Structure 1
Amino acid sequence: MAEEHKLAHDAPTPGAIGEIEELKIEIVELLKDAAVKFPVKNKNELKNLFPPGTKMACRVGGKETHFDELAETLGTDDFPLEDAPAVASKILSRCSLT
């Protein structure tokens, strides 16, 4: 019997990918509405954009993680973030797709 590849169950579903795209749009709109000045130079600046208790959360594949928690996972090499789409992409790159 052939062994099943361990990534067979880790592929993102079309629904999960669509959810990520919707969240990207929401983040970009929030940042534009807040008139955020770019670039975002470090983790502390990013965390100030998404304070603890931010109602919007990364809810993908049944796992919920708030943006301030995701910001904590970024390192110095992830900065600067030059615009709203870059912020959205970087934050959501830390979300689970499965």
Structure 2
Amino acid sequence: MGLLNALFGKSTNNVAEYVAKGAVLLDVRTASEYQGGHIKNAIHIPVQELGQRINEVKKLNKPVITYCASGMRSASAASLLKSKAVDAINGGGIGSLQRKLA
């Protein structure tokens, strides 16, 4: 596994698979970033709040694709979710993920 895959996950290959499994999109950017534009139907939980709001995500009972601006915060969020037994992948940055979902 390469360094980038270790840091960011292999989201390129897994996004379509996760969408097919009914995954929810989790936007982990700040409130102002989210208000400035987000992917339709995405759930917004800033990465700084995710630890305290993990049960909200667990209650969804669905796989999760995290995203942020560049992929760094979403990588942290996906890692945290996985450590709490949530099936999650890092979708990367919003622009990249939008292209993968198109």
For the criterion TM > 0.5, the same-fold answer is: no
More helix by share: 2
More strand by share: 2
TM-score, normalised via structure 2 length: 0.28
